[in-house]
Amino acid sequence: MPCGRWWDAVQLAAFDAVLVINLMQHRSGPAIEDQNEDTVTWLVPVRTTDGWRIPSVTVLGRGQQIHVPPPRWATSRRWLIEPPVVGDCLTSPELLRTALATVLGSPRRGDGEVRGA
């Protein structure tokens, strides 16, 4: 499905993503695991990650595609954290950026970017 209309996406290697999820706990929105690519992807509001430069993180926006599995799908692409039946299916970009900075060891910067040391 295309990014940039209903959401953008933030993608991270699965190993680091599990640490981010453990840190965020119930504050994480739904997350898609792709076992073929060994990644986890969060959906975030459109254009809220513009300007992010975070080592090891891929930000996907307008013109890019992601695979969104149906709920309760049990293949190599599945929901690691299921979307709610009703409510917001997007992750807070501020909370996600803070968790990424903590897990990846990068300082959080006021200009909206997180950079490696």
The phi, psi pair for 80, rounded to 5°, reads -75, -40
Q: What confidence tens digit (pLDDT) does each residue in 28-44 have? A: 999 999 999 999 999 99
Query: Does 68 fall in a domain?
Result: yes
19-22, long-range: CB within 8 Å, 24+ apart, which pairs? 19/103, 20/96, 20/99, 20/100, 20/103, 21/80, 21/81
Across the chain, the runs of DSSP E, i.e. the strands, are 8-13, 31-34, 39-44, 57-60, 77-81
- 112 has pLDDT over 50: no
Give the list of residues 6+ apart from residue 57 with CB closer than 8 angstroms, or none.
10, 11, 12, 100, 104
Confidence bin at 106 (pLDDT 50/70/90): low
**Is 94 among the domain residues?**
yes
Domain total of the chain: 1
Residue 89 lies in a domain: yes
For 80, the domain range is 8-104
Q: Kindly state whether residue 110 falls inside one of the protein's structural domains.
A: no
pLDDT in tens, 39-93: 999 999 999 999 998 989 999 999 999 988 887 777 889 999 988 877 778 999 9
pLDDT at 114: 36
